[in-house]
Structure 1
Amino acid sequence: MFGIRPSQKVLLLWSTPVDAEELQAMVGELKSVVGAEGKVAVENVEMLADSSHAGSHFDLILAGVLPPFQFENSLNVLGEALRILKPGGSLIVRTTDSATTQSTLKLTGFTSVSQPEDASLTDEQKRDIISPVSEITCLKPNFEVGSSMKLSFAKAPAKPSANTWNINLTDDDVDLEDPDDLLTEEDLIRPDPTTLKVCGTTGKRKACKNCSCGLKEELDAEDEKRVEENKKNFKSSCGNCYLGDAFRCASCPYMGMPAFKPGEKVKLAESTLQDTS
């Protein structure tokens, strides 16, 4: 019966609703198997955490083995069951939700979780069930919860090989090279400051997107100066600016001024030279 042997300590977990006569009959059968030297304890699953059972006390725990085969397979309940089982002890669960139960058992720390098998039920029990009932067996690891051990692969540092170079020299034994003798004449030439004004990201004289070194402002100032000089030294690209507005481009600075003779120097007003863009 559930692989129980004489002298073992067994815990029977039950949950409501359960038939009182079936529960008493199951307890009687378990006691007859374990004998006088064994022990059978009965506990409601909802009261398991408050029962204060000693740790590593039971050889076997049976959960949900009575109709309606409902077992609260939460991490808290299974964690308490793991605590009160002896190392190497077994837990047998009957459930109608085998997939969830298997997953929770593994997460709790149980090992050797078996594949669900059809539970061996009596004809009377089969008449009252609606969903198939599976039986899952698992084990508590062969060590106590919270125990520790030294890892087998922890090795002492390896001793140096006989072929390893080992140079142990004092300052009197080594003549160090003078760092100044390692520099060439080209290394001593002071670089042109303009060549140093480059972006540290792009390596070119071009400001990066989030420039914070001042290069962007310097380039903008140079662009504005270049635009002003171009306006003052303006030369017609088409050669027809002197003919009048009908022959001038839309952006021509002479737009609105009267025609003049070719080669005649025409002075533009200060307001004309201002950049309104």
Structure 2
Amino acid sequence: MPTAIVNSGDQVLFVAPSSSDQTHLMNAKSSFQNQVGSEGAVAFEAMERVSEAPLQSGTYNSIHSNLVFPSVSSHTAQALSQYLKALKPGGQIYLSEPVVIGDLSNTSCPITRKESDIISMLKLAGFVDVTVESSAPVSDEALHEFFKAWGVAKRVDQAVSRLSGKFGTVTIVAKKPAYEVGKKFALNFKKTPAKAEDKKKVWTIAMSDDADAELEDEDLLLDEEDKVKPNKETLTRPDDCELTDGRRKACKNCTCGRADMMDEEDSTNVVTLDMMDEAEDDEIVEVDPTPKKVGGCGSCALGDAFRCSTCPYLGMPAFQEGERVTISSGMFASDDIDI
């Protein structure tokens, strides 16, 4: 197990997989207890449940995680977050983890992390001063122990030969910042009154050493065209719409409003009235409600209560789109209908 600095009176948290050798765990706990003395304390937590463990905030001076050899466990982001919360400000964490140190393109391995991945996780969790204490490939004899921890029983020698020199362990030391994460501080935004002399300096123009230096004449920056006062003719937008059959035609992407004006004019001719039977007393008028243009509100067929103020069917009854509606011509005064 890597050497860790523990002082007398420290509160220490020791974390290891529950599958670790119990003799190694007891020896490690006894070693830490002897270093912290009677005034300190050593707590133990299983690595498998440390993410959900009720660790108290700002309790431990140091945390020692996964240091018992051999261990194939990996630290999760949740576990590192728990460690950061449980440490006192300025406290240290010592952790060990198996890593890949070579190319495994043709070899499968349960471990895929590299040393740089663990360093990044620690920094993202909020740790500072992340330092690699040791990093080295494990021996072939140690690889047999790792495969035993993984539960591999077949073709172990072949697997060891493939991972030889490409698999190792790394031990990293990191610190919690010297402040409690989430602690609030009051910021003083009170402004110091500026002196009168300082206010004058703000508007002082820095001149060159040449006493004859002059500022740029702003009038020289303008051309004669810039000085001409605009009039109504120059501000009026020219009517450049295409003239067809004596009538201006709206452009394809009209923005001046001519296209809307032409649509409104065309909408007045959508409804046509035809006499069905001149001999009958109650004359019948057929109305074709099928719109040539789609109204802006999209509710032309629903009736006046749903139509906009410029709807071409304003005053007409509700209808089904695509159907012809028959309306008694008696509804209209004879003078209002031009046959």
TM-score of the superposed pair, with normalisation by structure 1: 0.57
**Equivalent residue for 2:56?**
54
Equivalent position to 1:197, from 239, 258, 264: 239
Structure 2 Cα separation of the partners of residues 78 and 39 of structure 1: 21
Per-residue Cα deviation, 1:102-157 (whole angstroms, up to 9, x for no partner): 111011000001135237x9xx97873573211100000000010133569x6726
Equivalent position to 2:255, from 205, 212, 215: 212
Query: What SS class does the counterpart of residue 83 from structure 1 fall into?
Result: helix
The amino acid across from 1:80 in the alignment is Q
Structure 1 Cα separation of the partners of residues 177 and 190 of structure 2: 26
Q: How many angstroms does 1:71 deviate by?
A: 3.7
Q: Which residues of 2 match residues 227-266 of structure 1 at below 5 A? A: none
Structure 2 Cα separation of the partners of residues 141 and 17 of structure 1: 32
The amino acid across from 1:212 in the alignment is T
Q: How many angstroms does 1:217 deviate by?
A: 9.5
Name the stretch that deviates more: 27-36 or 56-65.
Answer: 27-36
Structure 2 Cα separation of the partners of residues 40 and 75 of structure 1: 24
Structure 2 Cα separation of the partners of residues 92 and 217 of structure 1: 75
Q: Which residues of 2 match residues 121-270 of structure 1 at below 5 A? A: 128-129=145-146, 131-149=167-185, 156=191, 159=194, 161-162=199-200, 187=231, 191=233, 196-198=238-240, 210-214=253-257
Give the structure with the larger strand fraction.
Answer: 2
Structure 1 Cα separation of the partners of residues 133 and 41 of structure 2: 28
Q: How many angstroms does 1:94 deviate by?
A: 0.6
Is the alpha carbon distance of 1:134 and 1:208 closer, same or farther for their aligned partners in structure 2, counting shifts above 3 Å? farther
Query: CA RMSD, aligned part only?
Result: 4.0
Q: How many angstroms does 1:81 deviate by?
A: 0.7
Aligned partners of 1:7 and 1:35 also within 8 Å: yes
**Equivalent residue for 1:17?**
19
- State how many pairs are aligned: 193
Aligned partners of 1:59 and 1:90 also within 8 Å: yes
The amino acid across from 2:126 in the alignment is G
Is the alpha carbon distance of 1:132 and 1:85 closer, same or farther for their aligned partners in structure 2, counting shifts above 3 Å? same
Is the alpha carbon distance of 1:28 and 1:126 closer, same or farther for their aligned partners in structure 2, counting shifts above 3 Å? farther
Kindly indicate whether residue 129 of structure 2 is the aligned counterpart of residue 112 of structure 1. Answer: yes
Is the alpha carbon distance of 1:82 and 1:208 closer, same or farther for their aligned partners in structure 2, counting shifts above 3 Å? farther
Structure 1 Cα separation of the partners of residues 230 and 126 of structure 2: 71
Is the alpha carbon distance of 1:162 and 1:93 closer, same or farther for their aligned partners in structure 2, counting shifts above 3 Å? same
Q: Which residues of 2 match residues 48-87 of structure 1 at below 5 A? A: 48-87=50-89
Kindly indicate whether residue 100 of structure 2 is the aligned counterpart of residue 100 of structure 1. Answer: no
Query: What SS class does the counterpart of residue 112 from structure 1 fall into?
Result: strand
Structure 2 Cα separation of the partners of residues 69 and 93 of structure 1: 11
Is the alpha carbon distance of 1:195 and 1:38 closer, same or farther for their aligned partners in structure 2, counting shifts above 3 Å? closer
Structure 2 Cα separation of the partners of residues 192 and 118 of structure 1: 79
Aligned partners of 1:45 and 1:72 also within 8 Å: no
Name the stretch that deviates more: 2-11 or 82-91.
Answer: 2-11
The amino acid across from 1:197 in the alignment is D
Aligned partners of 2:62 and 2:91 also within 8 Å: yes
Structure 2 Cα separation of the partners of residues 118 and 217 of structure 1: 76
Aligned partners of 1:197 and 1:215 also within 8 Å: no
Aligned partners of 2:132 and 2:170 also within 8 Å: no
Is the alpha carbon distance of 1:71 and 1:164 closer, same or farther for their aligned partners in structure 2, counting shifts above 3 Å? same
Is the alpha carbon distance of 1:217 and 1:4 closer, same or farther for their aligned partners in structure 2, counting shifts above 3 Å? closer
Query: What SS class does the counterpart of residue 62 from structure 1 fall into?
Result: strand
Q: How many angstroms does 1:193 deviate by?
A: 11
Per-residue Cα deviation, 1:187-212 (whole angstroms, up to 9, x for no partner): 4xx5399853258xxxxx99775223
Structure 2 Cα separation of the partners of residues 139 and 54 of structure 1: 18
Per-residue Cα deviation, 1:142-195 (whole angstroms, up to 9, x for no partner): 00010133569x672663613678xxxxxxxxxxxxxxxxxx9984xx539985
Is the alpha carbon distance of 1:197 and 1:32 closer, same or farther for their aligned partners in structure 2, counting shifts above 3 Å? same
Structure 2 stretches of 5 or more lacking a match?
100-114, 147-159, 161-166, 204-227, 242-247, 262-339
Structure 1 stretches of 5 or more lacking a match?
166-183, 200-204, 219-277
Is the alpha carbon distance of 1:217 and 1:101 closer, same or farther for their aligned partners in structure 2, counting shifts above 3 Å? closer
Is the alpha carbon distance of 1:50 and 1:115 closer, same or farther for their aligned partners in structure 2, counting shifts above 3 Å? closer
The amino acid across from 1:33 in the alignment is Q
Query: What SS class does the counterpart of residue 40 from structure 1 fall into?
Result: strand
**Equivalent residue for 1:2?**
4
